[in-house]
Amino acid sequence: MTKTQSIHKAVIPAAGLGTRFLPVTKSMPKEMLPIIDKPVIHYVVEEAVNSGIDDIIIITGRGKRAIEDYFDAAPELEMRLKDQHKDATLKRLKEISDFPTIHYVRQKEPNGLGDALLKAENHIGNEPFAVLLGDDIISNRKPCTAQLMSVYSRFNASVISIEHVPREKVCHYGIIKGNEIEPDLIRIEDIVEKPSPEKAPSDMGAVGRYIFVPEIFDCLKNTDPGVGNEIQLTDAIHLLLRDHPVYAYKFEGKRYDTGDKMGYIETIIDFALRDPELRDNLRKFLSDRLCQD
Ligand code: G1P
């Protein structure tokens, strides 16, 4: 067996149009929606960095420039905060410039997640890499990507994160079929993108974290347009399965789907309830508000 290569590169696809959040996403990337005072994508980059990733490429598209501005340094702003002795705010701002250098590549046409990922091929080269979808936040002490890396290093194979989804929602996910080989770990036999509840092979859906061997790029190139007439990552995983094992891992942690309105509201409330400055007032507000109904 060949030696397992360590994973230090990550791709964050963030080119999607964000139609579920129109009209606000007309002029603002959905990945920049604020969770109180940090955008969603901040948490995604933070997870990558906390998992040991030191090379990040974000796939953007038209109207996504705010993402690049956010991760750029802001010397004038930092200077002003320093002069005003706003040290805590300055520290928070510096955390962003301390992230590793982020590379950007544009997806010119919105041709789907699979096509977006293919744009990272030159940067990734011939090594395994992580993928973190730009609108999913997964909160846990050991980051979800680090959990997947542990599985990768045991099996030297691609691995995707999954969770049980309600039957009526399987049509929003890539749904796997496979056998549990040990608790929380499944060897995938097949995967299908956004099936109807009647056709779904299970209720286990892929969520936004993956580790891939570089062979996924050849599979993406051989993938025809699928659901929504777009190149689907799920269909490329289906091809990868012909010659390569792929595992699914029921990760530890709470996933927040910020691309969904209800998921976004839940994220803000949960994060505010964890914030010592906001917690007490929010609790009081919520209980008063609920009593009125
Ligand atoms: C994408 C993937 C899907 C996956 C989902 C997780 O769908 O195509 O397989 O289950 O992300 O959030 P999207 O949410 O972009 O429609």
Residue 4 lies in a domain: no
**134 and 276 belong to one structural domain:** no
228 and 88 in one domain?
Answer: yes
17 & 65 share domain:
yes
- The answer on pLDDT for 2 being more than 60 is no
Q: What is the CATH number of the domain that holds 249?
A: 3.90.550.10
Same domain, 34 and 136: yes
The verdict on 136 and 33 lying in the same domain is yes
Express each pLDDT in 20-47 by its tens digit.
999 999 999 999 999 999 999 999 999 9
Would you say the CB of residue 107 lies under 6 angstroms from ligand 1? Answer: no
Question: Are 235 and 194 contained in the same domain?
Answer: yes
pLDDT digits (tens, 9 = 90+) for 113-132: 999 999 999 999 999 999 99
CA 54 to ligand 1 center in whole angstroms: 25
Rounded Cα gap, residues 30 and 22, in angstroms: 9
Q: Print burial letters for 90-105: b (CB count within 10 Å at least 16), e (below 16).
A: beebeebeeeeebebb
User: pTM of this prediction?
Assistant: 0.95
Taking the CA of residue 16 as reference, the ligand 1 atom at the shortest distance is: 15
Domain count, the chain: 2
Split at pLDDT 50, 70, 90, the class of 254 is very high
Determine if ligand 1 sits within 6 Å of the CB of residue 234. Answer: yes
Q: Is 3 domain-assigned?
A: no
**Whole-number mean pLDDT of the chain?**
94
Does one domain contain both 279 and 137? no
Assess whether 152 and 242 both reside in one domain. yes
End-to-end CA distance of the chain: 63
Same domain, 233 and 93: yes
Domain that holds residue 192: 9-259
